[in-house]
Amino acid sequence: MLLIHCPYCGEDRSELEFRWAGEAHIARPDTISAISDDEFAEYFFMRDNTKGIAWERWRHIHGCGRFFNAIRDTVSDKFLLSYKAGLPRQPVPGSEPAAAPAVEGGVA
Amino acid sequence: MRKYSVFALVKEAMRSHKGWEPHWVSPEPRSSYDVIIIGGGGHGLGAAYYLAKEHGITNIAVIERGWLGGGNTGRNTTIIRSNYLYEESMDIYEHSLKLWEGLSQDLNYNVMYSPRGVMMLSHNTHDMQSFKRHINANRLYGIDNEWLTPEQAKAFCPPLDISKTARYPINGAALQKRGGTARHDAVAWGYARAASDRGVHIIQNCEVTGIRRGPSGEVTGVETSRGFIGAKKIGVSAAGHSSVVMQMAGVRVPLTSNPLQALVSEPLKPIFPCVVMSNTVHAYISQSDKGELVIGAGTDQYHSYSQTGGLQIITHTLDAICELFPIFRRVKMMRQWGGITDNTPDRSAIQSVTPVPNLFVNCGWGTGGFKATPGSANLFAHLIARGEPHPLAAGLTLDRFRTGRLIDEAAAAAVAH
């Protein structure tokens, strides 16, 4: 079972409290009625399904109920970082100087 | 290839079994092939076999990163059935079931297909309505499936607890008598042996690291850990790693790879005569010929390539098994493992041409790929040989996620299946 850090509650909690919510940072097109079928399929169905470092959404459904984002290695299942929804895609901790502002919530 | 028969067995018994040959040969790869299949599981090996047998293409290599059948082919719980709801699904799974029925004879290899019956338990009104809808759809389509009362279910599977006070009471069951199990290793080995006999090269411990493309975008071969190997056509049959391989050719596929776990008990005397599934409480159980109870659990919720899963998932399944079959409460579990299943949004497979010329994909079999092995392999061979899908697999296109013609077994089964 995974141990997951919720950046809103500030605690490491068991996976039982969370729901996985798919790949992170997929924006719904603003012009959803105008886009082509190909663009809709790309937005709605196609996923990276990354082997390695992945950015994904989780929801603390049996806790604060809020969505947040996390970086996880999908080979080891180890979490590298959790950060609040709405923040831009965060760099992998230790990989390079952070281009984005400092993140609240630590390594889980 | 030396044919297996009772006479061969007697002959070898007379000379201390010194004359048996290896099942397949492992030659050095040629510089190029007509067809390369990426993935040496049942689906990939079977596709190579049917290409050679039915389509006259024998200059084929099956390239496997690990060992044959070491992925999902060797990690599943071997349940075989064809009682799906939608016609596209019934077409392919029934085609597969018919091939299962003659597979041992076709391959001259005992795959131990055992049509012992697959019984799906109904626990509530929704289950009952859903199963009866399946039964009616199946029977109208010529596929056997029948409704059992709790008493009939108990008669078919005596260890089942049907008391009214059970934690998960049973109000009936759907039974497909032609469903059953087979021996998973034998499926991989049998296809490998029969394919090798027809000249197919089986190359293990060779990881594909890239797919090379020509000037007009068509595939020209694969980069591997043993160097470049040319190919006129490539079939990808890589299960949980299909997205990884397809990305090498720049093709995105709508897959999510999830761990799925299974476990076996200590060996017991024969006690469990059939396969029992309960989608509602996530329990799948049968007894192998070695005597182990073979138990399948649910998938983990997150995407992962770790070939392991959470303990809470198998605990949940064992809770359900112990409630359904109180007789098994003191049985010890012996081994547990995980495999990586490739799941599509509609929980139906993809067997399709791709935007890249001469690149074909067979993936998305998710949590139910073993039962499809012969049918999927047979129709994938047709797709690779002809360049267009067999009518039985015509609905399983990659394009359906653009056109919206989904085959929504996810909604039909209400769970992974």
The 3-class secondary structure across chain B, one letter per residue, is CCCCCHHHHHHHHHCCCCCCCCCCCCCCCCCEEEEEEECCCHHHHHHHHHHHHHHCCCCEEEECCCCCCCCHHHCCCCEECCCCCCHHHHHHHHHHHHHHHHHHHHHCCCCCCECCCEEEEECCHHHHHHHHHHHHHHHHCCCCCEEECHHHHHHHCCCCCCCCCCCCCCCEEEEECCCEECCHHHHHHHHHHHHHHCCCEEECCCCEEEEEECCCCCEEEEEECCEEEEEEEEEECCHHHHHHHHHHCCCCCCCEEEEEEEEEECCCCCCCCCEEEECCCCEEEEECCCCCEEEEEEECCCCCCCCCCCHHHHHHHHHHHHHHCHHHCCCCEEEEEEEEEEECCCCCCEEEECCCCCEEEEECCHHHHHHHHHHHHHHHHHHHHHCCCCHHHCCCCCCHHHHCCCCCHHHHHCCCC
pLDDT confidence of residue A106: 43
Tell me the pLDDT tens digit for each residue of B62-98: 999 999 999 999 999 999 999 999 999 999 999 999 9
Measured CA to CA, the distance from residue B28 to residue B350 in angstroms comes to 32
CB of B207 within 8 Å of a chain A CB? The answer is: no
pLDDT confidence of residue B106: 98
pLDDT confidence of residue A103: 47
| A92 pLDDT above the threshold of 50 | yes
Q: What number is the ipTM of this complex?
A: 0.89
Is there a domain that residue A97 lies in? no
pLDDT confidence of residue B161: 96
Q: Which of residues 79-108 of A touch B (CB under 8 A)?
A: none
Is there a domain that residue A60 lies in? yes
Tell me which residue range forms the domain holding A76: 3-26+35-84
Tell me the pLDDT tens digit for each residue of B187-214: 999 999 999 999 999 999 999 999 999 9
Q: Per the CB < 8 Å rule, is B254 touching A54?
A: no
Total number of domains constituting chain A: 1
pLDDT confidence of residue A108: 39
Is there a domain that residue A69 lies in? yes
Domain ranges of chain B: 24-82+84-109+184-255+346-403, 115-180+257-343
pLDDT confidence of residue B374: 98
Q: Which residues of A touch B310 (CB under 8 A)?
A: 1-2, 15
pLDDT confidence of residue B282: 86
pLDDT confidence of residue B415: 54
Q: Per the CB < 8 Å rule, is A74 touching B254?
A: no
Is there a domain that residue A92 lies in? no
pLDDT confidence of residue A94: 84
Is there a domain that residue A72 lies in? yes
Cβ-nearest to A41 among B244, B256, B402: B402
Q: Are B380 and B360 in contact (CB under 8 A)?
A: yes
Tell me the pLDDT tens digit for each residue of B296-348: 999 999 999 998 999 999 999 999 999 999 999 999 999 999 999 999 999 99
| A63 pLDDT above the threshold of 80 | yes
pLDDT confidence of residue B409: 87
pLDDT confidence of residue A97: 57
Tell me the pLDDT tens digit for each residue of B216-272: 999 999 999 999 999 999 999 999 999 999 999 999 999 999 999 999 999 999 999
| B100 pLDDT above the threshold of 60 | yes
pLDDT confidence of residue B45: 98
CB of B250 within 8 Å of a chain A CB? The answer is: no
Cβ-nearest to A49 among B243, B312, B401: B243
Give the least confident one: B17-26, B33-42, B262-271: B17-26
pLDDT confidence of residue A96: 67
Q: Which residues of A touch B257 (CB under 8 A)?
A: 49, 51, 74
* Residue range B369-390: mean pLDDT, rounded: 97
> Which single residue is written with the structure tokens 């759809």?
B137
Model pTM score: 0.94
| B136 compared with A103, residue with greater pLDDT | B136
Mean pLDDT of chain B, nearest integer: 95
* CATH label of the domain that carries residue A56: 3.30.2270.10
Task: Give the chain B residue nearest A40 (alpha carbons).
Answer: B402
Q: Which residues of A touch B261 (CB under 8 A)?
A: none
Total Cβ atoms within 10 A of residue B14: 9
pLDDT confidence of residue A107: 43
pLDDT confidence of residue B412: 65
* Residue range A25-47: mean pLDDT, rounded: 95
Distance from CA of B401 to the nearest CA of A (A): 6
* Residue range B132-148: mean pLDDT, rounded: 97
pLDDT confidence of residue B26: 85
For the structural domain made of B24-82+84-109+184-255+346-403, what CATH number should be given? 3.50.50.60
| A98 compared with B198, residue with greater pLDDT | B198
Domain at B115-180+257-343, CATH from 3.20.20.60, 3.40.50.1470, 3.90.1300.10, 3.30.9.10? 3.30.9.10
| B411 pLDDT above the threshold of 90 | no
